[in-house]
Amino acid sequence: MSKVIKGGTIVAADRTYEADIRLEGEKIAEIGPNLKGDETIDASGAYVIPGGIDPHTHMEMPFMGTRAAETFESGTFAAASGGTTMLVDFVLPGEDGSLLSAMDDWDKRSAPQICTDISYHVAVTGWSEQIFDEMAEVVKRGVNTFKHFMAYKGALMVEDDEMFASFSRCGALGALPLVHAENGDIIAELQQKYMAAGTIGPEGHAYSRPPEVEGEATNRAIMIADAANVPVYIVHVSCEQAHEAIRRARQKGMRVYGEPLIQHLTLDESEYFNKDWDHAARRVMSPPFRSKDHQDGLWAGLQAGSLQVVATDHCAFTTEQKRMGLKGFPLIPNGTGGLEDRLAMLWTHGVETGRLTPNEFVAVTSTNVARILNIYPEKGALIPGADADICVWDPKIEKTISATNQKSIIDYNVFEGQKVTAQARYTLSRGEVIWAYGQNSEARPGRGKFVRRKPFPAVNRALSKWKELTAPRTIHRDPTNIPSGV
């Protein structure tokens, strides 16, 4: 059974042209004029773009004494309604520390629920022979990215020696290290100072995580990656200090990737000073929203190519969960939503304002992600043979974002009241229409697949300069040093 997407303007990362697309089963079969098929999908007056890929989400993630409330089902359906056809979710090891049992746990939860395809990044939160060994198995199971947290002291945070060991291991396995770059030691100090001084509300979250802590950690992560001779991907880049470190490294020839979030591009720090505690707490995430100057820098980075992708870090907690921090901002679960609105917000604030071309929009929401994560052109491309993950993107559907009409199951939306100028008319996942605007589409849990990502080819693979440090060994820490709240 074939389908033809007819009458649209194809926007790829590299060009824009008029053509139809014929799909056979799950794949794109042909692109050209006047194609015929068993079924027609009307794209007239619309753009036809590769389905969005959100490289950074946390569905149902256990974190800060609770669990992110967005489920794999609600999250992937919400994503599809916004034109996104794939999420890359973060797997966190549990109490046994095993990467493999954490992956099993994620598989068990995600497989029956997902409406779109997903993939994983796996977090390395300590260092031991077991982790050294399991990393190889993780790569065999189709994950080529490992996440490292430089923040969340006493919980997820890794030290420099652990990061260096893990980065070196990544290099040997053909995997890419990802980093949450904030200096966790300084944050812990500042949290205590602000709490002691009586600044206990959400504004304390912003004060205790200034741009300097992000800039320092970003520099450090990049230098550690340079020492280990591996590329590195910095998640949720929010400020000029971090961006500058990335720019400098790239100019030097290093492979360093930077990922701003749609939230940091469009919301600013004034949110934390809102008189309504719930409003401010709902927007508590790390790094925090920044000033307009930092926002301008992030937009410039997307334009110049020093930042390559736009994600959401969707890690959504209900208002009730956020209220765990009523007695002190360090206890507010960190995270915000955004995956349903990423494309519409970026189009409205990026393309409609002339900051990004439609082709750049496609690059940063899909194609660059696929390339960096090594799934291109199976994903992120509109070419024969690619997966038919496609969005018919209608630049004439206006909408006011509101929690009252969203697909996410969270009771608020950080973009509440924002007017956006485009929406997904249709979203197709491997050839199947999973979202049709205004036609009461429903979630189809369990139809999504886990996408295996191959290790990076040997030719791109860094050879560690420090062979002896890539051998398995264990680094012990004092587990009693756990601050409350994380």
Q: Which residues bind Zn ion (CB under 5 A)?
A: 180, 313
Residues 205-244 contacting ligand URP, CB under 6 A:
236
Min CB(284)–ligand URP separation in Å:
7
Nearer to ligand URP, 23 or 92 (CB): 92
335 contact, one of Zn ion, ligand URP, none, CB 5-8 Å limit per kind? ligand URP
Measure the CA–CA gap between 230 and 167, rounded to whole angstroms.
7
Nearer to ligand URP, 236 or 290 (CB): 236
Nearer to ligand URP, 183 or 334 (CB): 334
Min CB(287)–ligand URP separation in Å:
8
Nearer to Zn ion, 43 or 150 (CB): 150
Nearer to ligand URP, 236 or 430 (CB): 236
Measure the CA–CA gap between 460 and 466, rounded to whole angstroms.
18
DSSP three-state, residue 2? strand
Query: What would the two tokens of residue 24 be?
Result: 């056979």
Q: What is the DSSP letter of 209?
A: S
Return the exposure string of 31-48: e unless at least 16 CB atoms fall within 10 Å of the residue's CB, then b: beeebebeeebebeebbb
Query: What would the two tokens of residue 477 be?
Result: 């820490």
Integer CA distances (angstroms), 389 to 19, 305, 366, 376, 383, in order: 17, 25, 10, 12, 11
Query: What would the two tokens of residue 389 be?
Result: 């993950």
Listing from the earlier edge strand, what are the strands of the sheet with 176-180? 52-57, 84-91, 117-123, 145-149, 176-180, 232-234, 256-258
Please list the residues that pair with 233 across neighbouring strands: 178, 257
Q: Is 121 in the site for ligand URP (CB under 6 A)?
A: no
Min CB(157)–Zn ion separation in Å:
11
Q: Is 315 in the site for ligand URP (CB under 6 A)?
A: yes
Q: Is 430 in the site for ligand URP (CB under 6 A)?
A: no
Q: Is 313 in the site for ligand URP (CB under 6 A)?
A: yes
Min CB(58)–ligand URP separation in Å:
5
| Contact assessment for residue 44 and residue 431, using Cβ atoms and an 8 Å cutoff | no
Measure the CA–CA gap between 200 and 346, rounded to whole angstroms.
33
Q: What angle do CA 167, 169, 171 make, to 5 degrees?
A: 70
Nearer to Zn ion, 175 or 316 (CB): 316
Min CB(303)–ligand URP separation in Å:
24
Q: What is the CA radius of gyration of the chain?
A: 21
| Contact assessment for residue 94 and residue 126, using Cβ atoms and an 8 Å cutoff | no
Q: Which of 286, 366, 408, 429 binds ligand URP (CB under 6 A)?
A: 286
Q: Is 314 in the site for ligand URP (CB under 6 A)?
A: no
Q: Is 88 in the site for ligand URP (CB under 6 A)?
A: no
Nearer to Zn ion, 272 or 393 (CB): 272
Nearer to ligand URP, 73 or 313 (CB): 313
Q: Is 345 in the site for ligand URP (CB under 6 A)?
A: no
By CB atoms closer than 10 A (0-12, 13-18, 19+), residue 214 is buried
Contact code string over 147-186 relative to ligand URP, x by CB under 6 A:
---------------------------------x------
DSSP three-state, residue 156? coil
Number of residues that bind ligand URP (CB under 6 A): 9
Measure the CA–CA gap between 179 and 224, rounded to whole angstroms.
11
334 contact, one of ligand URP, Zn ion, none, CB 5-8 Å limit per kind? ligand URP
Nearer to ligand URP, 321 or 334 (CB): 334
322 contact, one of Zn ion, ligand URP, none, CB 5-8 Å limit per kind? none
Contact code string over 54-83 relative to ligand URP, x by CB under 6 A:
----x-------------------------
Min CB(100)–ligand URP separation in Å:
22
Q: Is 285 in the site for ligand URP (CB under 6 A)?
A: yes
- Measured from each CB, the residue nearest to Zn ion is 180
Integer CA distances (angstroms), 226 to 134, 144, 147, 366, in order: 24, 19, 17, 27
DSSP three-state, residue 164? helix
Would residue 84 be called left, alpha or beta, if left means φ above 0 and alpha means ψ between -120 and 50 degrees?
A: beta
Nearer to ligand URP, 277 or 466 (CB): 277
Measure the CA–CA gap between 75 and 71, rounded to whole angstroms.
6
Residues in touch with ligand URP (CB under 6 A): 58, 180, 236, 285-286, 313, 315, 334-335
